[in-house]
Amino acid sequence: MFAWYRKSSVCFAYLSDVPAHVTAENDSDKTFEKSRWFTRGWTLQELLAPESVIFYGNEWSEYGTRQQLKERISAITNIEEGALENRPYFKIYSVAHRMSWAAHRQTKRVEDMAYCLLGIFEVCMPLLYGEGERAFIRLQEEILRETDDQSIFAWESGRLGARSFLSGMFATSPLCFAGSRHFIRGWRVRNDVPPTVTSRGVRIQCPLVLRGKAVTGFSYLVLDCQDVMCDQFNEEYMAIELYNVRPAPFYCRSQPWELVRIKLTDAERIGAKEVYVQKTVDPDMDPFTLLFPAFP
């Protein structure tokens, strides 16, 4: 579908909950901003892919074009005006940044929250309804086959939504990227080995900073990712906390509800280390099974 929208000259977006008598000039109740159209997963590609988009209210009364309304649309969706104007150049935005565009959107079927993003990331994969959240995991695996952008790991589950204090390397939904809008790929913590998905988990080479001498088994994995809104932008990189679940180098993510900032000088001093991080962790599993595994 994304390819068809991209090849189209114009897309007509019908907003049934915008009254016919309302126009862009007299919309004092902000019915355009409140439209359900901006909360649906599949309409994201309808907004971004076509060369032109014309919005219509109830009874097909014309409301305005994407170009005319770009400032308001940007405020509604948190999508930059540049992305609304320069539709072929999504790759200039990091993976985490693009994921944030879908963070507050919804689909009727869980799997569609992944499938509606295939075109945004220019990847292909089979549509397997019934797999649930596994669809979003597969999407991230496919993205990693096309890019080495480590911002894909810069997500937060939210403390209230976290089902366990241990998790896998991959997010369970775009909502985890709600706070990742300002994340970009870094340029200093580079290595020659891109992250890859293996039978042992996600293999990645990054600086691994020990959390502290008094806290055994926990480390910070420094990602090649920065937050442009951070006061120390040029000095800090995003990091995730890992727990050593088996003899090194095997880990899972811990405290997935937060990201940590590590000073660049600390990361450079330590150098890169190759580790394997579990792709997923069963939220129903007893955490102690991972924290204290039984060995023969």
Query: What is the identity of the amino acid at 127?
Result: L
Q: Are residues 60 and 101 in the same domain?
A: no
Cα–Cα distances in angstroms (integers) from residue 18 to residues 14, 42, 250, in the given order:
9, 19, 53
23/162 same-domain check: no
Residue pLDDT, tens place only, 154-179:
999 986 555 678 999 999 999 999 99
Instruction: Judge if 138 and 215 occupy the same domain.
Output: yes
For residues 79 and 116, membership in a common domain is answered with no
* Residue 296 domain flag: no
pLDDT at 289 (0 to 100): 56
Does 42 fall in a domain?
yes
Out of 50, 70, 88, pick the residue that ends a domain: 88
Of 40, 58, 88, the residue at which a domain comes to its end is 88
Whether residue 147 has pLDDT greater than 50: yes
In the chain, the amino acid numbered 249 is P
Q: Are residues 72 and 122 in the same domain?
A: no
In a domain, 143, yes or no: yes
Q: Is residue 229 part of a domain?
A: yes
Q: What is the pLDDT of residues 26-35, one digit of tens each?
A: 999 999 999 9
**254 in any annotated domain:** yes
Say whether both 165 and 281 belong to one domain: yes
Task: Name the domain boundary from 27, 55, 88.
Answer: 88
My answer on whether 77 and 27 are in the same domain is yes
pLDDT of residue 33: 97
pTM: 0.90
One domain, residues 116 and 189 = yes
* The total number of structural domains that make up the chain: 2
Q: How confident is the model at residue 121 (pLDDT cuts 50, 70, 90)?
A: very high
On whether both 31 and 109 belong to a single domain, the answer is no
Domain range holding 23?
A: 2-88
120 and 242 belong to one structural domain: yes
Give mean pLDDT, residues 212-237: 82
Q: Which long-range contacts (CB under 8 A, 24 or more apart) does 136-139 make?
A: 136/170, 136/171, 136/172, 136/173, 136/174, 137/168, 137/170, 137/172, 137/279, 137/280, 138/114, 139/114, 139/115
* 11: in domain: yes
Do 76 and 100 lie in one domain? The reply is no
The DSSP annotation for 21-52 comes to: T--TTT-TT-TTTT-GGGGBSTHHHHHHSSS-
- 130 and 23 in one domain? no
